[in-house]
Amino acid sequence: MKSIWDIAPLCDASEAFVEHYQRRACRRVAYTSDGQLCSADLEEFVHQTCVVDSLIICRFADTVLVMAFTPIIGTLIYLLDRNSKRVLLIRRDARPADDHYGKFNGLGGKLELDESVAFGARREVQEEAGIAMTSLILRGTVSWSNFGPKSEEWLGFIFLSDEWEGEPLSANEEGSLVWIELKRLLDACNQNSAVRAAANLPMWAGDRHFVPLVFDDDPRQFHGAMPYDNERPLNWSFERI
Protein backbone atom coordinates (compact mmCIF):
# COMPACT_ATOMS: atom_id res chain seq x y z
CA MET A 1 0.00 0.00 0.00
CA LYS A 2 1.42 3.38 -1.01
CA SER A 3 1.42 6.18 1.49
CA ILE A 4 0.96 9.87 0.81
CA TRP A 5 4.74 10.20 0.85
CA ASP A 6 4.92 8.02 -2.28
CA ILE A 7 2.20 9.67 -4.34
CA ALA A 8 2.73 13.32 -3.40
CA PRO A 9 5.46 14.15 -5.94
CA LEU A 10 3.46 12.53 -8.76
CA CYS A 11 0.40 14.76 -8.84
CA ASP A 12 -1.05 18.09 -7.86
CA ALA A 13 -0.80 18.70 -4.13
CA SER A 14 -4.47 19.32 -3.51
CA GLU A 15 -5.54 16.31 -5.57
CA ALA A 16 -3.09 14.04 -3.78
CA PHE A 17 -4.24 15.30 -0.43
CA VAL A 18 -7.90 14.64 -1.24
CA GLU A 19 -7.09 11.19 -2.62
CA HIS A 20 -5.19 10.25 0.50
CA TYR A 21 -7.87 11.62 2.81
CA GLN A 22 -10.58 9.63 1.01
CA ARG A 23 -8.46 6.49 1.13
CA ARG A 24 -7.83 7.00 4.84
CA ALA A 25 -11.56 7.26 5.50
CA CYS A 26 -12.21 3.96 3.71
CA ARG A 27 -9.36 1.98 5.20
CA ARG A 28 -10.22 -1.02 7.34
CA VAL A 29 -8.03 -2.43 10.07
CA ALA A 30 -7.98 -5.70 12.01
CA TYR A 31 -9.46 -5.96 15.46
CA THR A 32 -8.89 -8.31 18.32
CA SER A 33 -11.80 -10.36 19.65
CA ASP A 34 -12.75 -7.77 22.28
CA GLY A 35 -13.08 -4.99 19.73
CA GLN A 36 -9.85 -3.16 20.60
CA LEU A 37 -7.20 -2.33 18.05
CA CYS A 38 -3.99 -4.38 18.32
CA SER A 39 -0.94 -2.28 19.16
CA ALA A 40 0.79 -3.36 15.94
CA ASP A 41 -2.26 -2.46 13.87
CA LEU A 42 -2.50 0.90 15.62
CA GLU A 43 1.13 1.71 14.80
CA GLU A 44 0.57 0.75 11.17
CA PHE A 45 -2.64 2.78 11.00
CA VAL A 46 -0.92 5.87 12.36
CA HIS A 47 2.01 5.41 9.97
CA GLN A 48 -0.10 4.91 6.87
CA THR A 49 -2.54 7.73 7.56
CA CYS A 50 -0.01 10.21 8.96
CA VAL A 51 -2.28 11.09 11.87
CA VAL A 52 -0.47 12.99 14.64
CA ASP A 53 -2.47 14.68 17.40
CA SER A 54 -5.42 15.44 15.15
CA LEU A 55 -3.24 16.86 12.36
CA ILE A 56 -2.59 15.32 8.96
CA ILE A 57 0.84 16.40 7.76
CA CYS A 58 1.78 15.70 4.15
CA ARG A 59 4.93 16.62 2.24
CA PHE A 60 4.56 17.59 -1.42
CA ALA A 61 8.04 18.06 -2.92
CA ASP A 62 9.41 21.10 -1.03
CA THR A 63 6.03 22.07 0.44
CA VAL A 64 4.48 20.90 3.69
CA LEU A 65 0.69 21.13 3.91
CA VAL A 66 -1.00 20.93 7.30
CA MET A 67 -4.68 20.12 7.55
CA ALA A 68 -6.01 21.03 10.97
CA PHE A 69 -8.84 19.23 12.72
CA THR A 70 -11.89 21.21 11.52
CA PRO A 71 -14.85 19.37 13.01
CA ILE A 72 -18.58 19.80 13.08
CA ILE A 73 -19.37 21.26 16.50
CA GLY A 74 -22.14 19.46 18.34
CA THR A 75 -23.83 19.11 21.71
CA LEU A 76 -24.88 15.94 23.51
CA ILE A 77 -27.12 16.24 26.56
CA TYR A 78 -28.11 13.59 29.08
CA LEU A 79 -31.15 14.46 31.21
CA LEU A 80 -31.09 12.71 34.59
CA ASP A 81 -34.13 12.36 36.86
CA ARG A 82 -32.38 11.94 40.20
CA ASN A 83 -35.55 10.81 41.99
CA SER A 84 -36.23 7.85 39.72
CA LYS A 85 -32.58 7.43 38.66
CA ARG A 86 -33.57 7.38 35.03
CA VAL A 87 -32.02 9.06 31.98
CA LEU A 88 -33.94 10.44 29.01
CA LEU A 89 -32.57 9.02 25.76
CA ILE A 90 -33.69 9.15 22.17
CA ARG A 91 -34.01 5.96 20.18
CA ARG A 92 -33.37 6.91 16.57
CA ASP A 93 -36.11 4.80 15.01
CA ALA A 94 -37.98 7.30 12.82
CA ARG A 95 -35.93 7.25 9.61
CA PRO A 96 -34.34 4.05 8.29
CA ALA A 97 -31.85 6.12 6.29
CA ASP A 98 -30.61 7.81 9.49
CA ASP A 99 -26.91 7.11 10.19
CA HIS A 100 -27.92 6.61 13.85
CA TYR A 101 -30.92 4.39 13.06
CA GLY A 102 -31.80 1.96 15.85
CA LYS A 103 -29.32 3.41 18.33
CA PHE A 104 -29.97 5.05 21.71
CA ASN A 105 -28.28 8.34 22.44
CA GLY A 106 -28.55 11.55 24.41
CA LEU A 107 -30.29 14.57 22.96
CA GLY A 108 -28.45 17.20 20.95
CA GLY A 109 -27.19 18.09 17.53
CA LYS A 110 -25.13 20.50 15.46
CA LEU A 111 -24.30 23.96 16.69
CA GLU A 112 -25.85 26.68 14.56
CA LEU A 113 -24.13 29.83 13.32
CA ASP A 114 -23.43 32.49 15.95
CA GLU A 115 -24.71 30.53 18.96
CA SER A 116 -22.76 29.39 22.01
CA VAL A 117 -22.54 25.72 22.93
CA ALA A 118 -24.72 26.40 26.00
CA PHE A 119 -27.39 28.12 23.92
CA GLY A 120 -27.17 25.35 21.32
CA ALA A 121 -27.66 22.69 23.99
CA ARG A 122 -30.73 24.46 25.38
CA ARG A 123 -32.17 24.92 21.90
CA GLU A 124 -31.69 21.28 20.95
CA VAL A 125 -33.41 20.00 24.11
CA GLN A 126 -36.27 22.46 23.63
CA GLU A 127 -36.70 21.32 20.01
CA GLU A 128 -36.27 17.59 20.64
CA ALA A 129 -37.98 17.14 24.01
CA GLY A 130 -40.15 20.25 24.43
CA ILE A 131 -38.68 21.21 27.80
CA ALA A 132 -36.56 24.10 29.11
CA MET A 133 -33.47 23.08 31.07
CA THR A 134 -32.84 25.04 34.27
CA SER A 135 -29.55 23.28 35.00
CA LEU A 136 -26.74 22.56 32.59
CA ILE A 137 -23.39 21.08 33.60
CA LEU A 138 -20.57 20.67 31.10
CA ARG A 139 -19.11 17.24 31.86
CA GLY A 140 -16.57 17.11 29.05
CA THR A 141 -15.74 17.04 25.37
CA VAL A 142 -14.97 14.31 22.84
CA SER A 143 -13.36 14.71 19.44
CA TRP A 144 -14.28 12.07 16.86
CA SER A 145 -12.55 11.54 13.51
CA ASN A 146 -13.75 9.40 10.58
CA PHE A 147 -17.02 8.94 12.45
CA GLY A 148 -19.88 6.95 10.96
CA PRO A 149 -20.77 6.08 7.35
CA LYS A 150 -19.91 9.61 6.17
CA SER A 151 -16.49 9.59 7.93
CA GLU A 152 -17.19 12.92 9.61
CA GLU A 153 -15.06 14.88 12.06
CA TRP A 154 -16.94 15.98 15.21
CA LEU A 155 -16.18 17.88 18.40
CA GLY A 156 -18.91 17.15 20.93
CA PHE A 157 -19.66 19.09 24.11
CA ILE A 158 -21.19 16.65 26.60
CA PHE A 159 -23.66 18.02 29.15
CA LEU A 160 -25.63 16.71 32.12
CA SER A 161 -28.94 18.29 33.20
CA ASP A 162 -30.97 17.31 36.24
CA GLU A 163 -33.54 20.13 36.35
CA TRP A 164 -35.98 21.39 33.74
CA GLU A 165 -39.42 22.87 33.24
CA GLY A 166 -42.20 21.01 31.46
CA GLU A 167 -42.90 17.40 30.58
CA PRO A 168 -40.73 15.76 27.92
CA LEU A 169 -42.34 14.71 24.65
CA SER A 170 -42.74 11.01 23.94
CA ALA A 171 -41.28 11.28 20.44
CA ASN A 172 -40.01 13.68 17.80
CA GLU A 173 -39.16 13.55 14.10
CA GLU A 174 -35.92 11.67 14.84
CA GLY A 175 -37.37 8.93 17.03
CA SER A 176 -38.84 7.87 20.37
CA LEU A 177 -37.91 9.51 23.68
CA VAL A 178 -37.46 6.84 26.33
CA TRP A 179 -36.68 6.93 30.04
CA ILE A 180 -33.93 4.38 30.74
CA GLU A 181 -32.76 3.32 34.19
CA LEU A 182 -29.30 4.73 34.87
CA LYS A 183 -28.09 1.29 35.95
CA ARG A 184 -29.15 -0.20 32.61
CA LEU A 185 -27.37 2.57 30.73
CA LEU A 186 -24.19 1.97 32.72
CA ASP A 187 -24.53 -1.79 32.22
CA ALA A 188 -24.64 -1.11 28.48
CA CYS A 189 -21.23 0.52 28.94
CA ASN A 190 -19.74 -2.31 31.02
CA GLN A 191 -16.40 -3.79 29.97
CA ASN A 192 -17.95 -7.26 30.21
CA SER A 193 -19.59 -8.04 26.87
CA ALA A 194 -22.15 -10.34 28.53
CA VAL A 195 -23.33 -7.53 30.80
CA ARG A 196 -23.58 -5.19 27.81
CA ALA A 197 -25.60 -7.73 25.87
CA ALA A 198 -28.00 -8.26 28.79
CA ALA A 199 -28.63 -4.50 28.97
CA ASN A 200 -29.96 -4.69 25.39
CA LEU A 201 -29.36 -1.00 24.69
CA PRO A 202 -27.85 -0.49 21.21
CA MET A 203 -25.46 2.46 21.15
CA TRP A 204 -22.46 3.62 19.19
CA ALA A 205 -19.64 1.30 20.20
CA GLY A 206 -17.46 4.12 21.50
CA ASP A 207 -20.11 5.63 23.76
CA ARG A 208 -19.46 3.06 26.46
CA HIS A 209 -16.07 4.66 27.10
CA PHE A 210 -17.27 8.16 27.96
CA VAL A 211 -20.91 7.80 29.09
CA PRO A 212 -19.94 6.54 32.60
CA LEU A 213 -17.80 9.66 33.00
CA VAL A 214 -20.92 11.80 32.55
CA PHE A 215 -22.55 10.28 35.63
CA ASP A 216 -19.65 9.58 37.98
CA ASP A 217 -18.84 11.62 41.10
CA ASP A 218 -15.65 13.18 39.79
CA PRO A 219 -16.32 16.94 39.52
CA ARG A 220 -13.60 17.41 36.91
CA GLN A 221 -14.38 17.62 33.21
CA PHE A 222 -13.10 14.93 30.87
CA HIS A 223 -11.61 15.75 27.46
CA GLY A 224 -11.11 12.83 25.13
CA ALA A 225 -10.26 11.82 21.58
CA MET A 226 -11.78 8.86 19.76
CA PRO A 227 -10.78 8.10 16.17
CA TYR A 228 -13.29 5.93 14.35
CA ASP A 229 -13.23 3.70 11.31
CA ASN A 230 -16.84 3.96 10.12
CA GLU A 231 -18.79 2.44 13.05
CA ARG A 232 -15.82 1.07 15.00
CA PRO A 233 -13.77 3.09 17.50
CA LEU A 234 -10.03 2.64 17.01
CA ASN A 235 -8.79 4.13 20.24
CA TRP A 236 -9.89 6.15 23.27
CA SER A 237 -7.80 8.50 25.38
CA PHE A 238 -8.81 11.25 27.78
CA GLU A 239 -7.72 13.39 30.66
CA ARG A 240 -9.63 15.15 33.43
CA ILE A 241 -9.01 18.74 34.41
pLDDT (tens digit per residue) in 123-156: 999 999 999 999 999 999 999 999 988 889 999 9
Shared domain check, 232 and 196 = yes
Domain end: 39, 67, 95, which one? 67
Which domain-ending residue is among 40, 67, 94? 67
Condensed to tens digits (0 to 9), the pLDDT of residues 20-54 reads 445 454 443 333 334 444 544 444 444 444 443 33
Same domain for 81 and 58?
A: no
**In which band, very low, low, confident or very high, does the pLDDT at 3 lie, cut at 50, 70 and 90?**
very low
Q: Report the predicted TM-score, pTM, of the whole model to 2 decimal places.
A: 0.74
SS (H, E, C) the chain: CCCHHHHHHHCCHHHHHHHHHHHHHHCCCCECCCCCECHHHHHHHHHHHCEECCEEEEEECCEEEEECCCCEEEEEEEEEECCCCEEEEEECCCCCCCCCCCCEECEEEECCCCCCHHHHHHHHHHHHHCCEECCCEEEEEEEEEEECCCCEEEEEEEEEECCEECCCCCEECCEEEEEEEHHHHHHCCCCCHHHHHHHCCCCCCCHHHHHHHHHCCCCCCEEEEEEEEECEECCCEEEEC
Same domain, 51 and 139: no
CATH of the domain at 156: 3.90.79.10
Of 67, 92, 109, which residue constitutes the final position of a domain?
67
Domain range enclosing 46 = 4-67
Q: Say yes or no: 129 and 10 in one domain.
A: no
